[in-house]
Amino acid sequence: MIHTELNYGDVYLVPKKTVVDSRKECDTSVQFGPRRFVMPLYAANMKSVVDAETCEYFARRNWFYTMHRFDVDAVAFVRDMQAKGLFASISVGVNGDTLQQLAALKAAGLSPEYITLDVANGWCVKAEQMIRFIKREFPHCFLIGGNIATAEAARDLEAWGCDAIKAGIAGGRVCITKNKTGFHRPMVATVRDCAAAVSVPVIADGGIVEHGDVAKALACGASMVMAGSLFAGYDESAGEIVEIDGKRYKEYFGSASQFNKGEYKNVEGKKILVEYKGSIARLLLELQEDLQSSVSYAGGRELSALRTVQIIAVAH
Ligand SMILES: NC(=O)C1=CN([C@@H]2O[C@H](COP(=O)(O)OP(=O)(O)OC[C@H]3O[C@@H](n4cnc5c(N)ncnc54)[C@H](OP(=O)(O)O)[C@@H]3O)[C@@H](O)[C@H]2O)C=CC1
Ligand SMILES: Nc1nc2c(ncn2[C@@H]2O[C@H](COP(=O)(O)O)[C@@H](O)[C@H]2O)c(=O)[nH]1
């Protein structure tokens, strides 16, 4: 029997009695690893979304960030962020280049506060080996592993030593994995299954289309949400402005796109143009206001209230 699974766009949250007098009373902050952040939401570790300046921008405003792992000097990045009194959060892969970067960090006496193991399918032997290696060599580091999409995979990554798990396979806006391989799991099912299976925080990665999807992800059990396209196209986002017929855009491309890889090999991502939207400050404020409102509809004062709401499927 083939069963149906749902995405954010297929569900809504049922309102409860509001207990606050103003949405301002609702607290959107989240403890994640050793630090507390203003929002349970952050920009994807993609080259077309974040660069070193974007990371600094978010860290200074106490938003979580993760630098991407493509052509990055991890030593320089970690040293620079920590010299500025900011936390360092980097991404790594599973191959020899990552081992070299980690050895260089160790030799320089540096330890980032957060490391994200960023591979398409984190439920694999190479990921297990890297997770165990990082936990051994950088025991004080908060290690995020991913990506995965099932309870069984989440349990394995927790057992291997991950401090948080990033869930979401082939749900991203510039993803073509589902078209090229046939594999994908809708986000509501992914997040609910993974979050129920482990005691470490789960990050819902990809597929955020509307601001309300953040609240839906948290209602499904996510502790944090990662989004790419939501944060693309701003002054502070990575990449240059492109002008076409007098209209301004920024490029948003997948980490597994030909554009990011530099060759057409195992391509599972595409490049699109997103409208240029100016400064990101207004977006960050609006996201926070919207989430405060979500918490009020959930009948609480804190994010935990979202875990108590009923999720309903809607007929299209
Ligand atoms: N969240 C998502 O759904 C997805 C995200 N991505 C993103 O794209 C980026 C690049 O991903 P990717 O192209 O997979 O490369 P990776 O850099 O993640 O691959 C790392 C290593 O793992 C091997 N590998 C990758 N996929 C598989 C597989 N299916 N089976 C066996 N070995 C594998 C690769 O070898 P080899 O190339 O020889 O196979 C390579 O040596 C990452 O940042 C990832 O997050 C990509 C796809 C889906
Ligand atoms: N299948 C692919 N997924 C990718 C690729 N590059 C990034 N990603 C994933 O997408 C999310 C962002 O999704 P969005 O809907 O918020 O835009 C990102 O965090 C990765 O997990 C890719 O090339 N192929």
Question: Nearest 10 degrees: CA dihedral of 105, 141, 135, 123?
Answer: -100
Average pLDDT for 62-88: 98
pLDDT on residue 5: 97
Q: What is the pLDDT of residues 281-309, one digit of tens each?
A: 999 999 999 999 999 999 999 999 999 99
The pLDDT-based confidence of 169 (bands split at 50, 70, 90) is: very high
90 Cα to the center of ligand 1, angstroms: 17
Q: Which ligand is nearest to the CA of 261?
A: 1
Query: In ligand 2, which atom is closest to the CA atom of 270?
Result: 23
Whose CA is closest to 297, among 281, 311, 313?
A: 311
Q: Which ligand is nearest to the CA of 173?
A: 2
Give the count of beta carbons closer than 10 Å to the beta carbon of residue 209.
13
Query: In ligand 2, which atom is closest to the CA atom of 171?
Result: 15
pLDDT on residue 6: 97
pLDDT, averaged across the chain: 97
Query: In ligand 1, which atom is closest to the CA atom of 46?
Result: 43
Whose CA is closest to 215, among 290, 119, 149?
A: 290
Q: What is the pLDDT of residues 230-271, one digit of tens each?
A: 999 999 999 889 999 999 999 999 999 999 999 999 999 999
Please give the distance of CA 265 from its chain centroid, rounded to a whole number.
Answer: 25
Q: What is the pLDDT of residues 207-216, one digit of tens each?
A: 999 999 999 9
193 Cα to the center of ligand 2, angstroms: 20
Which residues carry out catalysis?
175
- Would you say the CB of residue 256 lies under 6 angstroms from ligand 1? yes
Q: How far is CA 14 from CA 211, 212, 250, 306, in A?
A: 16, 13, 36, 10
Residue nearest (by alpha carbon) to ligand 1 atom 48: 120
**Which protein residues are within 6 Å of ligand 2, measured from CB?**
44, 46, 147, 168, 170, 172-175, 177, 205-208, 226-230, 254-257, 268-269
pLDDT on residue 315: 87
Please give the distance of CA 217 from its chain centroid, rounded to a whole number.
Answer: 12
pLDDT on residue 107: 98
Q: What is the pLDDT of residues 13-66, one digit of tens each?
A: 999 999 999 999 999 999 999 999 999 999 999 999 999 999 999 999 999 999
pLDDT on residue 49: 98
- Cα(150)–Cα(140) distance, integer angstroms: 27
Residue partners of 216: CB distance under 8 A and separation at least 6: 8, 11, 12, 13, 188, 311
| Report field, pTM of the whole predicted structure over 0.90 | yes
pLDDT on residue 14: 98
pLDDT on residue 239: 84
Q: Are strands 311-313 and 11-13 parallel, antiparallel or unpaired?
A: antiparallel
Q: Indicate the DSSP class of residue 303.
A: G
pLDDT on residue 240: 85
